[in-house]
Amino acid sequence: MKTAGQNRLRALQEYGQSVWLDYIRRDLITNGELARLIDEDGLRGMTSNPAIFEKAIVGSQDYQDILLAPEARQLDAKALYEKLAIRDIQDAADHLRQVYEQTACGDGYVSLEVSPLLAHDTEATLAEARRLWAAVARPNLMIKVPATAEGIPAIRQLVGEGLNINVTLLFAQSAYEQVAAAYIAGLEQAAQRGIDLRRLASVASFFVSRIDTAMDVELTARIDASPNAARQAELRNLLGKTAIANAKITYQKYLGLFRGPRWQALADKGAHTQRVLWASTSTKNPTYRDVVYVEELIGRDTVNTIPPSTLDAFRDHGGVRASLTEDVDGAAATLQRIAEAGISLDRVTDGLLVDGVRLFAEPFTKLLDTVGKTPAPKARITAPRWEPTTPGSPRRASPTRTSRMATSSAHSATPTRSSGQGRHRS
């Protein structure tokens, strides 16, 4: 447990968990805030996605120097977007380089996603990933590739070529197993090519809160339809329980997959396990604890990429304990009761993957449309900036720095798939 005066975010490292920030914006880098997060909170990485960049670029004047430059008129919309994004990714990676070196390539990564419009095209994903890897030219870059049927062979190939890969949009345990297998096969290819496995890394980004949002709708429909009070109570007791149970069982699969002779042969060459990264860890349902998807998923060799408002909340009042391996049998029983209620978790997670691709493609298309037009210098101040709370700073009742961030965070821009409970984050 956290001791008095200890930074709660830093305390997570004692349990083997790395904190990454699910956010990027130009002023975060230029105003010294990223450096503070690294030094004071022990931040160990960053993730981005098209929705984050859409909000950052469209909602600020931070990018006017590039957007208004004469040479911008010579670039198409995608090339202009990449010029903006790559600068941020490079600068963030440079700030995190010290973490990368200090952890022997274990942490210090910044993620840049391939176009979500390519999610169902293996060859195009391969080509774009290679191009972005070369353009950013930082060893602590991770290229994000979605865990679609077409993305998984690309993951295997890219790892085999020595690229660091963040596998995104994982919801199902079966998909996670395929991704882990692709990573291990890719490492074997890399070893055959003579690539130093000590400098090769990957994370499997397993999305959490979106699952509860979708499953709670399914459960609520059955509660409303049941005439039996006892049955209603049983179903009501399952609300908000699916995502954490699913994550706990997935972590058990991780522990089983990265052991045995095949894995040991790679580990002997310096290979890192493909850590599970908990994504979509903001709380969508306001009746749930605001840090529940951090508090209940703390475990060794994991990452939690946390959006700004949740980061501030956890620093303020998060509880730290080795929660991920608690009551695994209870987690399995929860999933069994979900199945007995007639709800197919596979069906729900399949739908979430489809929606996840769409909900990244839509802001990406919007972003390309926006940067492809001649920008108006006065027209882009639409989203407030994040002014993070700091340890010991007073918390205010009227809109706090954190709550203002909730309006500008890219993850709160898109409605959830199944209900109006909250806003879609990562």
How far is 422 from 285, CA to CA, in rounded Å? 6
How far is 324 from 327, CA to CA, in rounded Å? 9
Tell me the CA distances in angstroms from 125 to 47, 152, 177, 321, one per residue in order. 19, 10, 21, 39
- What pLDDT does 389 receive? 60
Q: Are 95 and 34 in contact (CB under 8 A)?
A: yes
Of 96, 180, 110, the C-alpha closest to 144 is 110
- What pLDDT does 281 receive? 98
Percent of the chain beyond pLDDT 90?
Answer: 84
How far is 165 from 246, CA to CA, in rounded Å? 23
Of 376, 406, 370, 368, the C-alpha closest to 389 is 406
- What pLDDT does 207 receive? 98
144 is catalytic: yes
- What pLDDT does 404 receive? 34
- What pLDDT does 423 receive? 34
Q: Are 258 and 273 in contact (CB under 8 A)?
A: yes
Query: pLDDT-based confidence at 326, cuts 50/70/90?
Result: very high
Domain ranges across the chain? 8-383+397-419
Phi, psi dihedral angles at 111 (to 5 degrees): -105, 140
Q: Determine the straight-line distance between the first and last CA of the chain, rounded to whole angstroms.
A: 28
Using one digit for the tens of pLDDT, what is the confidence trace for 275-312?
A: 999 999 999 999 999 999 999 999 999 999 999 999 99
- What pLDDT does 290 receive? 98
Among 3.20.20.70, 3.30.1360.10, 3.30.930.10, 3.30.499.10, name the CATH number for the domain at 8-383+397-419. Answer: 3.20.20.70
Q: Which two tokens stand for residue 407?
A: 């309006």
Mean pLDDT of the chain: 89
- What pLDDT does 66 receive? 94
Out of 83, 144, 241, 284, which one is annotated catalytic?
144
Using one digit for the tens of pLDDT, what is the confidence trace for 306-317?
A: 999 999 999 999
Query: pLDDT-based confidence at 271, cuts 50/70/90?
Result: very high
What pTM was estimated for this model as a whole? 0.88
